[in-house]
């Protein structure tokens, strides 16, 4: 039998739906905790896709795709406003 893992140490993908509220209550939402989570996420991404012996375009293309999506979301109100404008 595997050792019991505390709910605090459980990854989000392993949390059951009924445990989600208590799992979120155990998270650290202070600025230091949020920055630490962002740093861990960046380190995982960097070590998985960028800092590899034989890399490809996967890591860089994900960053570019994320940038394209974010820039579209940021400019959506302008795009929505111009959508029905006639140019003649």
CB distance 55 to 49 below 8 Å = yes
Between the CA of residue 57 and those of 25, 30, 44, what are the distances in Å? 38, 35, 17
Full-model pTM: 0.56
Tokens found for residue 81: 């406003």
Alpha helix locations (H) across 1-88?
Answer: 20-25, 31-45, 58-74, 76-82
Ranges 18-22, 37-41, 49-53, 60-64: which has the least confidence: 49-53
Angle ∠(51,39,62) on CA atoms, nearest 5: 50
Q: Is residue 43 very low, low, confident or very high in pLDDT (cuts 50, 70, 90)? A: very high
CB 22 within 8 A of CB 7: yes
């Amino acid at each position: 039998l595997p050792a019991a893992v505390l709910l605090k140490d459980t990854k989000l993908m392993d949390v059951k739906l009924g445990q989600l509220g208590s799992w979120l209550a155990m998270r650290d939402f202070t600025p230091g905790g949020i920055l630490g989570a962002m740093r861990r996420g960046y380190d995982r991404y960097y070590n998985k896709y960028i800092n590899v012996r034989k890399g490809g375009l996967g890591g860089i293309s994900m960053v570019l795709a994320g940038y394209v999506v974010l820039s579209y979301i940021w400019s959506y109100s302008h795009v929505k406003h111009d959508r029905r404008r006639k140019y003649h």
